[in-house]
Structure 1
Amino acid sequence: MNNMQSGILESTPPVSRYLMFSLIDHGEARKGLLALREIADGRQTVVGIGQSLVLALGATVSGLRVFPSYAGAGFEVPSTPFALWCWLRGDDRGDLLHRARRITHALMPAFRLDQVVDAFTYGTARDLTGYEDGTENPKDERALEVAFVRRQGDGLDGSSFVAVQQWVHDLDRFEAKSTQEQDNTIGRRRIGNDEIKDAPPSAHIKRAAQESFDPEAFVLRRSMPWADGLRAGLVFVAFGASFDAFEALLRRMVGVEDGIVDALFTFTRPISGAFFWCPGMHDGRLNLRQLGLIPS
């Protein structure tokens, strides 16, 4: 598939920068998006569009919706929608800074930059707890099936839906657990990454075993650690042909099905959550036909 944003399929880069924008001038939205279209290559800069922006353009994208929120005993999962999301990928933080400045200027005055999160690769694709992340990611043809829309027509084919959350870890609390408690929280052993067959039902692996759903709930994860001063955690990023698989995973994590809450909440919490539609590509540019934006 050459009509997709190829950065979605590639492995996570050494460094990333995530930009979240709100729409402040509806009349300039089209101009701003067309300017962004000239910058975003879909590989080093991946773009996602929120429901509010789609509606402001008088368009519809089937399957696009607002991130759900949940609250339970000792945890909250917030919904924090944004109009636009840009994932800047690379290996040089200076380059990401200048690319972010260029994008922000191109989107003015229609959009306001509301949030910036810098992320990085830790070890061999590990979370800051030291555990491997994305172990069960689909690969090759299966990854294409899981992550991208197919057979829906020009404007939708090659597009993807992405769920983005920023999680803040309490690493002191996690490190206060015994090694066994840490392993049982994740459901895998940090050394060797072996799954623990008799892990408690609250273990994250037990809660989020993608093959255990009916239908199976596979997503293509592209999560990365982040840090700002002494605050740190994970930017969770999951792509899919729809939001159905992610929502099934999230409902089980918060205990909607059986009242068992994912043990992750004992040391980490999400502070944001947003859904975006990532358009496909056409002739090396974002395919914005679904939004009624067809450059001359």
Structure 2
Amino acid sequence: MDVDRRNFFRGAAVGAAGTALTGGVLIGGARVDARAAQRSEPTEESSYPFDGQHQAGILRPATKQPSASFTAFDVTAKTRGELIALLKTLTDRARMLTRGGPVTDTGVGGPPLDSAVLGGAIPSDGLTVTVAVGSSLFDDRFGLKKLAPLRLTPMTVFPNDFPDPAWTGGDLLVQLCANNPDTIHHAIRDITRHTRAGMQVRWKIQGYNSPPRPTGTPRNLLGFKDGTANPTNAESQQLIWVDDPAEPAWTHGGSYQVVRLIRMLVEFWDRISINEQEGIFGRRRDSGAPLDGNVENDTPDYGADPDGRIIPLDAHIRLANPRTPDTANQRIVRRSYNYDLGVDPNGNIAAGHIFVAFQQDIRRQFEAIQTRLIDEPLVDYVQPFGGGYFLALPGVTDSTDWYARQLLS
């Protein structure tokens, strides 16, 4: 890789992350398929249970919920009692929004109870609300320090990262996923309206997933299929739920969540050859097959290619998942989305990837993988700039339960 080109790419990315994103460039260029705009009445198939051992929106395939948003909040509640009230309100709003139903207005004399973005009745529309806590919640404000999750820390900054404080961290993270973007907009607007006294938005980003093109796994904005090697549902159960006896008991049934906001330098990426792109990923761009395979779900045979003659030794898929017995328990469940923030002040496209992963142990899983990816060839075309580490709370078990009850009771 030419050194001057590398520095040029990095300079462009830093400017975009540090200036355009902090300046709040609005999402642009969104187009909605006319068929998706024809909303049907809520059905049993379009709603997911809110109550349960685990929160919804963790194992649900992201492809079944193509619209999403990730909003980090700073808690402004002053006392433990106010924090409890906040989380009870958040639970009530999440339960109502995911269930859907009619809205009763107050009449013309007062503010409406609902924005009416979705009309007179709220459709469930496949909405899930997943709430997670950051390490900053366990400071001295609420007496929670001794109950902090064992493996929850501020997000590690890796080489090739350029974190922007305005897009990093947060006491709480609210992940919303649904069938349509107006459902996401309606939900976050409702939640912020009812919780403004207890928490304030720190950062927010909207995401989307495309349908498979033409088949298989959807593609990221670099044009490659993304998430092909995700563990199956049975494997996922062994990799994501917190169950370590050393962890505080209230965390059991939760999952450590990593969110990384990654700018993709799509215009520079488009200038390199397909052969170079495929070597960087280790997969065919058209089919998603590994370079030593024929179809997307073929398993790469690294043992038959020890020198990297077919799949380069520094290819993304080879570093991320070496497929050895020693790295089997390092796999993560990915649930990522694309984003588009329009353009930066230099006129470059400000788009990329919302990397989302769930696991039992961030150090054992995500950080082990990310350490192997340091200085991979792909770093010339991507720029991580924000996100955070969180603990997705255990599920709300029934109508008398609420988010983080076992932590705060």
Quick one: which amino acid aligns to residue 47 of structure 1?
A: V
Quick one: which amino acid aligns to residue 230 of structure 2?
A: N
Whether the aligned pair in 2 keeps the contact of 1:280 and 1:286 (CA below 8 Å) is no
**Partner of residue 81 from structure 1, selected from 164, 169, 186:** 169
Q: Quote the Cα distance in structure 2 between the aligned partners of 1:286 and 1:185.
A: 45
> Mean Cα displacement is larger for which, 183-192 or 205-214?
205-214
Q: Secondary structure at the match of 1:9?
A: coil
Whether the aligned pair in 1 keeps the contact of 2:88 and 2:403 (CA below 8 Å) is no
Q: Quote the Cα distance in structure 1 between the aligned partners of 2:322 and 2:173.
A: 26
Q: Quote the Cα distance in structure 2 between the aligned partners of 1:278 and 1:177.
A: 39
Q: Quote the Cα distance in structure 2 between the aligned partners of 1:290 and 1:161.
A: 17
Q: Does 1:205 align with 2:317?
A: yes
Q: Does 1:160 align with 2:255?
A: yes
**Structure 1 position 4, deviation (Å):** 0.4
Q: Report which of the two has the higher share of strand.
A: 1
Query: 1:115-134 residue pairs with structure 2 within 5 A?
Result: 115-124=203-212, 125-134=218-227
Q: Quote the Cα distance in structure 2 between the aligned partners of 1:246 and 1:117.
A: 21
Paired position in structure 1 for 2:40: none
Q: Quote the Cα distance in structure 1 between the aligned partners of 2:366 and 2:388.
A: 12
Report Cα offsets for 1:200-242 as digits up to 9, x if no partner. 2222112201534724211000001111213110000000012
Query: 1:1-296 residue pairs with structure 2 within 5 A?
Result: 2-12=52-62, 13-27=65-79, 28-41=82-95, 44-55=128-139, 56-59=141-144, 60-71=148-159, 75-78=160-163, 80-124=168-212, 125-150=218-243, 152=245, 155-197=250-292, 198-209=310-321, 211-212=323-324, 214-216=326-328, 217-229=330-342, 230-243=349-362, 244-254=364-374, 261-281=375-395, 282-283=397-398, 286-292=402-408, 294=409
Q: Secondary structure at the match of 1:280?
A: coil
Whether the aligned pair in 2 keeps the contact of 1:29 and 1:111 (CA below 8 Å) is no
Whether the aligned pair in 1 keeps the contact of 2:52 and 2:398 (CA below 8 Å) is no
Whether the aligned pair in 1 keeps the contact of 2:87 and 2:402 (CA below 8 Å) is no
Q: Quote the Cα distance in structure 2 between the aligned partners of 1:100 and 1:287.
A: 17
**Structure 1 position 62, deviation (Å):** 2.1
Q: Percent of counterpart pairs with the same letter? A: 25
**Structure 1 position 154, deviation (Å):** 5.2
Quick one: which amino acid aligns to residue 181 of structure 1?
A: E
Quick one: which amino acid aligns to residue 289 of structure 1?
A: R
Q: Stretches of 4+ moved more than 4 A in 1?
A: 151-154, 284-287
Report Cα offsets for 1:52-74 as digits up to 9, x if no partner. 11334322222211111123xxx
Q: Quote the Cα distance in structure 2 between the aligned partners of 1:2 and 1:210.
A: 35
Q: Quote the Cα distance in structure 2 between the aligned partners of 1:262 and 1:196.
A: 17
> Mean Cα displacement is larger for which, 233-242 or 99-108?
99-108
Q: Quote the Cα distance in structure 2 between the aligned partners of 1:210 and 1:15.
A: 31
Q: Quote the Cα distance in structure 2 between the aligned partners of 1:290 and 1:183.
A: 48
**Structure 1 position 34, deviation (Å):** 2.0
Structure ID, larger Rg:
2
Q: Quote the Cα distance in structure 2 between the aligned partners of 1:58 and 1:145.
A: 32
Quick one: which amino acid aligns to residue 8 of structure 1?
A: I
Where in structure 1 are there 5+ consecutive unaligned residues?
A: 255-260
Cα distance, 1:242–1:39 mapped onto 2, change above 3 Å: farther
CA root-mean-square deviation: 2.2
Q: Secondary structure at the match of 1:34?
A: helix
**Structure 1 position 142, deviation (Å):** 0.9
TM-score (norm 1): 0.88
> Mean Cα displacement is larger for which, 276-285 or 85-94?
276-285
Paired position in structure 2 for 1:258: none
Q: Report which of the two has the higher share of helix.
A: 2
Whether the aligned pair in 1 keeps the contact of 2:259 and 2:354 (CA below 8 Å) is yes
> Mean Cα displacement is larger for which, 188-197 or 235-244?
188-197
Cα distance, 1:235–1:247 mapped onto 2, change above 3 Å: same
Q: Quote the Cα distance in structure 1 between the aligned partners of 2:220 and 2:85.
A: 39
Q: Secondary structure at the match of 1:141?
A: helix
**Structure 1 position 167, deviation (Å):** 0.6
Q: Secondary structure at the match of 2:356?
A: strand
Report Cα offsets for 1:178-210 as digits up to 9, x if no partner. 010010111111122111252322221122015
**Structure 1 position 107, deviation (Å):** 2.3
Quick one: which amino acid aligns to residue 264 of structure 2?
A: H
**Structure 1 position 126, deviation (Å):** 1.2
Q: Quote the Cα distance in structure 1 between the aligned partners of 2:385 and 2:325.
A: 26
Quick one: which amino acid aligns to residue 58 of structure 1?
A: G
